[in-house]
Amino acid sequence: MLGETLRRLRGIYGYSAKEMSERLGISGSYLSEIEKGRKPPTLDLLNRYSKILGIRTSSLMRFSEEFDCAEKHGAGQDFITGLMSRLIDTFAAEE
């Protein structure tokens, strides 16, 4: 489920697959394999994701676990919607 989480976060932050693979320094096909859950990301790669997204690696892992749990209960989209709402509120408060 980590791959799906990374794919969704990429979308939330507005990165195309090409942009993200370039920023991560990996091929587009490798990114696709990770996002489809066919290959696990390394810790180094997770750290790079975290830097790009501006979140801690531990938060990235926690988000993945929470999303996985929500998906199992049929509430994955609601979880994503809530996350996006919190992000918008955070950005608005920073202005």
How do residues 15-28 score in pLDDT, each as one tens digit?
Answer: 999 999 999 999 99
The model's pTM is 0.75
Long-range contact pairs involving 70-73 (C-beta distance under 8 Å, separation at least 24) = 71/1, 71/4
Long-range contacts, stretch 11-16, CB < 8 angstroms, 24+ apart: 12/80, 12/83, 12/84, 12/87, 13/52, 13/53, 15/52
Read off the pLDDT of residues 45-84 as tens digits, 9 standing for 90 and up: 999 999 999 889 988 888 888 877 777 888 777 777 777 7
Among 58, 64, 14, residue whose Cα is nearest residue 34: 64
Check whether 31 has a pLDDT greater than 80: yes
pLDDT over 90, % of the chain: 47
User: Given a cut of 70, is residue 12 above it in pLDDT?
Assistant: yes
For residue 40, pLDDT beyond 90: yes
